[in-house]
Structure 1
């Protein structure tokens, strides 16, 4: 088997459903398996999986084991020569696995490969490519200076070597993942991708960013930006620093103090989605019989570039008739606009989407006309 796609889920049923639909379309030409590890979700994730995706291998944990342990369990069950670690709140295009897998096979010196990530508005996510957070870079990050934290030597659409990838989408050879020891379980959430990327560099491998390929990562759906989030995010930076760069008790104390200070003072993001109630809604579909009452207009994908849209337009993608490559390309190509986007699921009973990478996405149940 060529590829095992491992998706760790926790209470993201609606977004996971959309993710799996896109993933299964993207592995049509690949000998692949899809593994979902559920970290004791309390929503209907497990029931949704069993009912809608019987072809997916489901592993259920009886407690929330965190990102590292959960993904490591998935890898233990994987049969593929290559792995893709993928978040449940992502959407992939039909060709992305073909291209990433071909690149990985042709470049055995590469440990981990990723793509450009964009959020639910089509905006580039800079954490797609990062530098190793050395003590100096980590301290600047803690103080709010991100200039050295992100890998600015590459433009967002470039391809090239980077030091650190993001765990939302990373592809590697299974034997390399196992050689490096997998994700370090001391990280519950955040930091494990930095740690594993850095470990790969220490073992003489390279990591690579394919900026011409794009994957949607709604991002906010996986995380509520509360105090626990801040403690885990900045605490993970402390764990990484202590593991790889600890030099003295005094310096460690200064870093720990800075981390506690940022957790105590950093503002908390609102987890509610940005309201788009005044948007002009356009249903984009290739089904000329489909109608949705909340939409103001229906258009085909080909008509999008021919018609004029105001800045408050919200496009609702009919994923049952459109390709995800088309959707992703449109979103990434129109970031200068103020468009918003929603995804009509393949069963056409839910609309999901997000207008902020730092807040919960919107899930709306739909009654068709």
Structure 2
């Protein structure tokens, strides 16, 4: 087996549906190149309450499912699937992502040709096409973390000295060695995992990708940011920037420091992080509901359908009967565009199109053959789902 894809799901079945449609296309590209079934997919469901497994099983029979009776957390759920995975490479993938058709072939080819590569991450954009800075990160040393928390990184985003947290001195368009990769898309050599072990299960959520990236480097490998591959990560769908998120994130950072930092400054670093936890939580006033939500607009939103005509007709035939939505044939009349994937318009083309979207546009994506449309217009807010059934 060449590749094992592992996805941990919790109450995002509609976003995962779109993700698996893109994964299926990427598997097809590998099969066409190798001539064999060289990719397996594992979905680990952490006790979702939205009947995710029941919804997905019939639609994606090629996926192998693990259903947990309780929420095991991100690290433990991934480790469950690692124990069963047979691939030479393991891809940890978030459920709120969409991949181009050539994602697997490109990334595997790079890993095969780069002997010192232990893990690979890719260029990520959000649901509006904006580059996500966490695509590449530096090791969170005391200085790097101070620059991030003090705002120096934000004020001097391209400085090698002050912006190392997001490695702002490195071009987003060039492949480079980096310290830390995102767990949203992290392809790891199984041989490297055999040396390091999987995710540390003391990290329930957040920080586990930093810890694993660091251990991969400690084992003698390098982590690479691979610029030629771009994916969509609807980050707001899996990351809620409320006070609970702030506490969980910085708690994970404290755990990381206590695990890997030693010496006289370790206590200072830990104390600083703990102070930030309460400061950031106190000033965070964002409040959002759990799970996916239906779209709500004042008035009647007007959508423009772009992309594959057959896929667009799937959307048109359903939405035209909904009184809350309308469809226009004039692009300039709509701020909401639905990019319709299908034989004539690939996921890769959608991703390229998103990169050029104007800031006022609210994009959505519909994969051919599905009954859902998804979108996320802010990395700090939950995404939207239109269910057409």
- Per the TM superposition, whether the score is higher than 0.5 is yes
Number of equivalenced pairs: 357
Q: Provide the residue aligned with 2:19 in structure 1.
A: 19
User: What is the CA–CA distance in structure 2 between the aligned matches of 1:250 and 1:87, rounded to whole Å?
Assistant: 33
Give secondary structure in 2 for the equivalent of 1:112. strand
* Shift in alpha-carbon separation, 1:184–1:311, aligned structure 2, 3 A: farther
Deviations 1:20-60 (A, max 9, x none): 11101111132101110111111121111222112100011
* Structure-1 separation of matches of 2:29 and 2:64: 19
1:104 to 111, 114, 118: 111
Q: Report if aligned partners of 2:304, 2:331 keep a CA contact under 8 Å in 1.
A: no
Distance 2:11 2:249 in 1: 19
Partner residue in 2 for 1:364: 386
Say yes or no: does 1:184 pair with 2:207.
no
> Superposition pairs for residues 190-339 of structure 1, below 5 Å?
190-248=206-264, 250-252=267-269, 254-271=271-288, 280-284=302-306, 285-287=308-310, 289-290=313-314, 291=316, 292-293=319-320, 294-298=325-329, 309-310=331-332, 313-321=335-343, 322-334=345-357, 336-339=358-361
Per-residue deviation at 1:275?
6.4
Deviation, structure 1 residue 212: 2.5
Please list the CA deviations of residues 164-208 of structure 1 after superposition, one character each: whole Å capped at 9, or x if unmatched: 110000111112112111111111111111111111222221111
Aligned to 2:226, the other structure's residue is in SS state strand
Instruction: Give the 3-state SS of the residue equivalent to 1:117 in structure 2.
Output: strand
Q: 1:79 — aligned with what?
A: 86
Moved more, 125-134 or 289-298: 289-298
SS in 2 for 1:52: coil
Q: Could you list the per-position Cα deviations for residues 227-282 of structure 1 after superposition, in whole angstroms to 9, with x for gaps in the alignment?
A: 22111111111111121123237515532442333343231334378966575421
Q: Give the match for residue 152 of structure 1.
A: 168
Q: 1:108 to 1:42 in 2, by over 3 A?
A: same
Q: CA deviation at 1:219?
A: 1.2
Distance in 2, matches of 1:256 and 1:296, equals 49
Residue in 2 aligned with 1:3? Answer: 3
Q: For 2:276, what is the secondary structure of its paired residue? A: helix
Q: Is the 8 A contact 1:283 1:295 kept in 2?
A: no
Report the Cα distance in structure 2 between the residues aligned to 1:238 and 1:311, rounded to whole angstroms.
50
Aligned to 1:303: none
Instruction: Give the whole-Å Cα distance in 2 for the aligned partners of 1:337 and 1:224.
Output: 22
Measured in 2, the distance between the counterparts of 1:162 and 1:216 equals 20
Equivalent pair of 1:234/1:263 in contact (CA under 8 Å): no
Q: CA deviation at 1:121?
A: 0.3
Distance, in Å, in 1 between the alignment partners of 2:13 and 2:198 is 26
Whether contact under 8 Å (2:203, 2:252) holds in the other structure is: yes
Q: CA RMSD in A?
A: 2.2
The normalised TM-score by structure 1 is 0.90
TM-score, normalised by the number of residues in structure 2:
0.85
* Counterpart for residue 302 of structure 1: none
Is 2:372 aligned against 1:341? Answer: no
- Alpha-carbon distance in structure 2 between the residues aligned to 1:349 and 1:68: 31
Please give the alpha-carbon distance, in whole angstroms, between the structure 1 residues aligned to 2:258 and 2:91. Answer: 28
Q: CA deviation at 1:224?
A: 2.7
Indicate how the Cα distance of structure 1 residues 323 and 245 shifts in structure 2: closer, same or farther if over 3 A, else same.
same
